[in-house]
Structure 1
Amino acid sequence: MKIKIAQELGYFRNSLQRLADPKRAEGEKRYLKSSLRHYGVSMPKLEKIIRVWAEGHPECSIDDAVKLSNLLWDSQWHEEKTIAVELLAYKAQNLEMRHLKIIEKMMREAKTWAHIDPIAILLIGSIMEKDKKMLKRLPEWAEDDNFWVRRIAILSQVLQFRKGKGNFTLFKKIVIPMLREGADWSKEERFFIRKAIGWALRELAPRRPELVYDFLKTYHHQMSGLTFKEGSRKLPLELQKNLKNNS
């Protein structure tokens, strides 16, 4: 059964308007350095809006979800874009390579980690778990001029890393050149790339500590303190001590 796209779009916008908090919106806009408009609706409330809608629309096909998500993404409101991403994440089990067009649109238009990170982990990562062809896109994204796209290349395997899986050889191929950083990189660019590399390593550490330990030991002189700190945080204490002694 098809859903009425315009009607469902109205549901999401009416829900956001009802929960709008101008004071929170002002603070969030400032915190995210956002050029978008903000309703000021918290993430838990956004998740509830999506959950209630999804539970009431089990018949919604992935194709209709993509159409609705696309309309929400084209909004100039931060929370509508967030719902666009989270709506697809809710249907992640149905996402396939054929949906990469809208996902790439999102990742190239997104201007904040608040959208980039779930796109990488929940959307691209979910497709990657089912279709290894997605891995072939990561080296291309890793060399993109847009540092948010490079961050996606780093974080896309996080779901698999959490399970002790993923292609760590490819991960190293992607991130080692980034450790050198570009002379023209902005302060923001350096922070978000450094943080992403450390975050990905941290997610892998509990299941594959030997891989993370060897990587940090080999490349710690090339990486920032932030990357090293984040990457080593979840290693066994003995390995953390060894790294400190060797640094």
Structure 2
Amino acid sequence: MDPEDEAERILGELRAQADPVRADSEKRYLKSDFAHLGVTVPALRKVALSAVRVPPARDELLGLVDALWAATDGGRPVHEARMAAVEVLVKRVELLEPEDLAVAERLIRDSVSWVHVDHLAEKVAGRLIVRHPDLGAALDVWVGDPYMWIRRTSLLALLPGVRAGDPDLDRLTRYGDVLIEEKEFFIRKALGWVLRELSKKDPAWVTAWVEGHIADVSGVTFREAVRRLPSADADRLLAAYKAR
């Protein structure tokens, strides 16, 4: 594979499926300053993943990701090209080495929306950390990072372990204490999201966590955290939340 040529092919096929009406709608929904083509997610995924149907070499994969990420239209990044970069990286995440956590971090730092960040956080950074637990030390730094999307990543990267039934409860406890008074909506939402997913497997732990933070927990974190709890626990916590 020649990464630059393959990126051009992908972008050409995406442009061939452009829908200006959808592009305008999506741009407004995401409050985006990027160039948008208006390609549906299933169509985008089909085009992007065709490039890595046969596993490429690691350097080819990373070259393709960089070429797609750098694509511009009128001087603005192309939303669908960046989505394609994320799709191919997620699809072939098994090719990545521990040092490639820096690739995920670089892309997240160059992102301005959950739509590009969340898969990178969970399905790239998170999966790398599951495979190489020592990389979890990076999250301990990221949880205090000035950039909001990096702080969100420190939480969402815990999701693969939660979903696999091997949650990092120590980090979730520490990060919850650090972020409980966070003002950013997307951080509050991410904390609630992780707690909600954990509640599917360990409702007692989540119930105890919410109970211990009832005086300080934000509304969005609370709503997400109790969403899947047994009704008796959720009702009791809701009464305590309203009475605080």
Q: 1:59 to 1:150 in 2, by over 3 A?
A: closer
The 1:153/1:59 distance shift into structure 2, 3 A limit, reads: closer
Note if contact 1:97-1:127 (Cα within 8 Å) is conserved in structure 2.
Answer: yes
Match of 2:74 in 1: none
For 2:196, the equivalent position in structure 1 comes to 202
Native 8 Å contact 1:198 1:228 kept in 2: yes
Query: What pairs up with 1:50-61 in 2 under 5 angstroms?
Result: 50-55=48-53, 58-61=54-57
1:41 to 16, 20, 39: 39
- What corresponds to 1:106 in structure 2? 107
In 2, distance between residues paired with 1:86 and 1:155?
A: 17
Decide which moves more: 124-133 or 44-53: 44-53
One of 42, 61, 70 as aligned partner of 1:74: 70
Instruction: Give the letter for the 1:161 counterpart.
Output: V
Q: Does 1:162 align with 2:163?
A: yes
**Root-mean-square deviation (Å):** 1.4
Partner of 1:5: 3
After TM superposition, the score normalised by the length of structure 2 is 0.92
> What is the deviation of 1:246?
3.4
Q: Deviations over 1:173-223 (max 9, x none)?
A: 112222123xxx5xxxx2111111101111111111111111111102201
Structure 1 consecutive aligned stretches of length 4 or more whose deviation exceeds 4 Å: none
Distance 1:172 1:52 in 2: 41
Partner of 2:22: 24
Distance 1:82 1:244 in 2: 38
Deviation at 1:104, TM superposition (A): 1.4
| Aligned residue identity for 2:35 | R
Contact 1:163/1:207 (8 A) holds in 2: no
Q: Once the 2 structures are TM-superposed, how far is the Cα of residue 59 of structure 1 from its aligned partner? A: 4.4
Distance 2:152 2:137 in 1: 16
- What TM-score results when the alignment is normalised by the length of structure 1? 0.91
Once the two structures are aligned, what percentage of the paired residues are identical? Answer: 31
Spell out, residue by residue over 1:126-164, the C-alpha distance to the aligned partner (whole angstroms, 9 max, x if none). 101100012101121111111111000111011111122
Separation in 1, partners of 2:23, 2:200: 37
| 218, 228, 232: which one aligns with 2:222 | 228
8 Å Cα contact 2:108-2:117 kept in structure 1: yes
Aligned match for 2:61, one of 51, 65, 81: 65
Looking at structure 2, the residues matched to 148 and 131 of structure 1 have their Cα atoms a distance apart, in angstroms, of 22
Counting only pairs closer than 5 Å after superposition, residues 231-246 of structure 1 correspond to structure 2 as 231-246=225-240
Whether the 8 Å CA contact 1:138–1:153 is kept in 2: the answer is yes
**CA offset at residue 169 of structure 1?**
1.4
Total equivalences in the alignment: 236
| Structure 2 unmatched ranges of 5 or more | 72-76
